[in-house]
Chain A
Amino acid sequence: MTWADLFNFVTGNASTIRRYSETHFILVLETVIVSLILWVPLGLLLSKSDKWAGRVMALANLIFCIPSLSLFAIFVTIPGLGLGRRSSLLALVLYAMMPLLRNVYDGVKNVDRSVIEAAKGMGMSEAGIIREIRFPLGLPVIFAGFRITVVMTTGMATIASFIGEQNLGRFITNGMVRNNTEMLVTGAVLISVIAVVLDTILGLLEKGLIPRGLRLRR
């Protein structure tokens, strides 16, 4: 393969590349949105019950242990899910459970006890404490989990191409099967670039999100 071959492949398949990138990106976006909607509130809720937190964390752990390809394969066999978007979305959301839920829980749970004690002693309600203290103070940890989730999902979405997702993962699998190096490299590099760019953007966002008082030092 030469640079010219690669260039020719990219220019010749511009519309496919755009389409695949789009579906890839949309799958990641959908997963992240659904995960945020599900796991952040659940993580906050679990901070109230150690018993349930233990149970749910164990479940998240279990799911995370299953190899992704196996999980995708299992979902394909379930009626109503089958090949395609539903199975891949569900699998990715379940994978995201571990890093996101765990970090939300750890973040809000590990806030300095004396701050909680003082707030409770001043008559702040449970909900108020979560909203005004636990969440903002846990935000750095929560956001770290969010970053991991986004990067992980971007990578794992490629595997969904095995169950019919028309995304950048396709370039890699097809490239390998057809012994097409240009195709393989295009897919691999684009996915990596997307992951790195997303992580960088989130890194910048993180700086702005962490409460000012936590960043200041005397």
Chain B
Amino acid sequence: MIELREVTKCYKGQTVPAIEKLSLCIDEGEICVLVGPSGCGKSTTLRLINRMIDLSSGTILINGEDILNKDPDQLRRGIGYVIQQIGLLPHRTIGENIAIVPRLYKWPKGKIKERVNQLLTIIGLDPDQTRNKYPSQLSGGQMQRVGVARAMAVDPPIMLMDEPFGAVDPLVRSHLQDEFLRLQEEIKKTIVFVTHDINEAIKMGDKIAIFNEGRLVQFGTPEQILTDPADDFVENFIGHDRVVRMLSLYRAEEAARKRVCVVRDNELAGLAGELREAGTGVAFIIDAGGGPLGYVTEEESTAVSGPERLKAVAAARRKAFVQANTPLPDALSILLEYDLDWLGVLQGKSLCGALSFKDIQRHVYRREGE
């Protein structure tokens, strides 16, 4: 747990403090995102925690221990640190870069090598191919991954990340974010994450701390921040179309429910019974060749009698299908355009999920629901 008490930082020669009387508590295993416009003190706060800069007054405690009581180098070795520019050593191989902190801890060679291979595998790079490459031989996204792996090398309980995905294009960034969130599920680190992008904050944060002009304006879960902005600044900072913009971070398959009821168009006679048994509320109808035809809801299956008429109901909804990698805004657009309640999510030609308004809504707020 990281606790900041009344922390103030004044830079030399400046009358206005960079941050003033900041108190903040970051719980174990949580991602706390510090967000705000540039110059708001978010990076300063991050850098105070591993003593890259020293505070002017106040106290910072890590697991109850004052950070000023520890040797700065020792302190930093125990905290993972990722910066936007990554800062990989260009004259060292990827393997050597990841091994920096283990080497500072004087791990035996075999253990270091094993750990490097393990980390490369975790971040999705082939150890044998990547280990001996140099940073200049990797893509931006790969370098960011290596930066994260390097910070995790000795498995520190705390990680500080200063705009770690800021330098890559939006698609790669979104991918790295997803990857990191998946990883965090397993590693459960205490993470302080700085960004200026509110969308990233909402996506990554268990808690969000919004900064403005050196002060903490609001601290809470993304849901609290989205539903109850503390003041005009927060409201403006979040933006009014925030939720709609958030949709573009996701793809149809991510929001889709995986349990679906699929029925061949020549087996429509027992549809009502089958739907009751499946409990999915909707059945997707496929033709003899396995191609998607449409859907029938549970109410329709009891209200409409006769397989032929049911088939006609389904066939009127030929448009009710999207591919798994369709961005969520496109899927939503189709739902609205054709006045549909359901979309079938296709992987190639076969159905892999179903999507309704409710699913999209739930997906957008899934973090708050947890």
| B100 and A122 contacting across the interface, CB-CB below 8 Å | yes
Question: Which residues on A sit within 8 Å (CB–CB) of B93?
Answer: 213
Question: Which residues on A sit within 8 Å (CB–CB) of B135?
Answer: 213
**B2 contacts the other chain (CB 8 A):** no
**B76 contacts the other chain (CB 8 A):** yes
| A115 and B89 contacting across the interface, CB-CB below 8 Å | yes
Question: Which residues on A sit within 8 Å (CB–CB) of B73?
Answer: 123-125
> Among B78-86, B223-231, B250-258, which stretch is in contact with chain A?
B78-86
Q: How far is the CA of A190 from the CA of B76 in the complex (A)?
A: 57
* A:123-140 near B, CB below 8 Å: 123-125, 128, 132-133, 136-137
**B77 contacts the other chain (CB 8 A):** yes
* A:193-218 near B, CB below 8 Å: 211-214, 216-218
- Provided the pairs A117-B83, A213-B135 are in contact, do residues A123 and B91 lie with their beta carbons within 8 angstroms? no
* B:253-308 near A, CB below 8 Å: none
Question: Which residues on A sit within 8 Å (CB–CB) of B87?
Answer: 112, 114-119
Q: How large is the interface on A (under 10, 10 to 19, 20 to 34, 35 or more residues)?
A: 20 to 34
| B89 and A119 contacting across the interface, CB-CB below 8 Å | yes
| A118 and B83 contacting across the interface, CB-CB below 8 Å | yes
* A:113-164 near B, CB below 8 Å: 114-125, 128, 132-133, 136-137
Question: Which residues on B sit within 8 Å (CB–CB) of A117?
Answer: 52, 83, 85, 87
How far, in Å, is A116 (CB) from chain B's closest CB? 8
How far, in Å, is A79 (CB) from chain B's closest CB? 48
A210's nearest neighbour on chain B, judged by CB, is B91
| A121 and B104 contacting across the interface, CB-CB below 8 Å | no
Question: Which residues on A sit within 8 Å (CB–CB) of B147?
Answer: 118
* B:39-58 near A, CB below 8 Å: 50, 52
**B346 contacts the other chain (CB 8 A):** no
**B90 contacts the other chain (CB 8 A):** yes
Q: Which of B88, B104, B134, B137 contacts A123 (CB 8 A)?
A: B104
| A122 and B89 contacting across the interface, CB-CB below 8 Å | no
| A213 and B136 contacting across the interface, CB-CB below 8 Å | yes
| B76 and A114 contacting across the interface, CB-CB below 8 Å | no
| A121 and B50 contacting across the interface, CB-CB below 8 Å | yes
A125's nearest neighbour on chain B, judged by CB, is B73
Contact with A along B88-102 (1 / 0, CB 8 A): 111111000000110
| A121 and B52 contacting across the interface, CB-CB below 8 Å | yes
Contact with B along A32-71 (1 / 0, CB 8 A): 0000000000000000000000000000000000000000
* B:134-175 near A, CB below 8 Å: 134-137, 147, 150-151, 160
| A217 and B136 contacting across the interface, CB-CB below 8 Å | yes
- Provided the pairs A123-B73, A133-B89, A213-B93 are in contact, do residues A114 and B100 lie with their beta carbons within 8 angstroms? no
- Provided the pairs A136-B91, A213-B91, A214-B90 are in contact, do residues A123 and B136 lie with their beta carbons within 8 angstroms? no
Question: Which residues on A sit within 8 Å (CB–CB) of B68?
Answer: none
Q: How far is the CA of A214 from the CA of B136 in the complex (A)?
A: 8
Q: Which of A114, A120, A122, A123 contacts B86 (CB 8 A)?
A: A114
| A114 and B85 contacting across the interface, CB-CB below 8 Å | yes
Q: How far is the CA of A119 from the CA of B150 in the complex (A)?
A: 11
- Provided the pairs A122-B104, A123-B76, A213-B90 are in contact, do residues A218 and B81 lie with their beta carbons within 8 angstroms? no
| B83 and A121 contacting across the interface, CB-CB below 8 Å | yes
**B244 contacts the other chain (CB 8 A):** no
Question: Which residues on A sit within 8 Å (CB–CB) of B104?
Answer: 122-124, 128
Question: Which residues on A sit within 8 Å (CB–CB) of B136?
Answer: 213, 216-218
- Provided the pairs A114-B83, A213-B91, A213-B92 are in contact, do residues A119 and B100 lie with their beta carbons within 8 angstroms? yes
Question: Which residues on A sit within 8 Å (CB–CB) of B91?
Answer: 136-137, 211-214
Pick 17 A–B contacts, CB within 8 A, sort by A: A114-B83, A115-B87, A117-B85, A117-B87, A118-B81, A119-B89, A122-B77, A122-B104, A123-B73, A125-B73, A128-B104, A137-B89, A211-B90, A212-B91, A213-B89, A214-B91, A216-B137
Chain A residues within 8 Å of B, Cβ to Cβ:
112, 114-125, 128, 132-133, 136-137, 211-214, 216-218
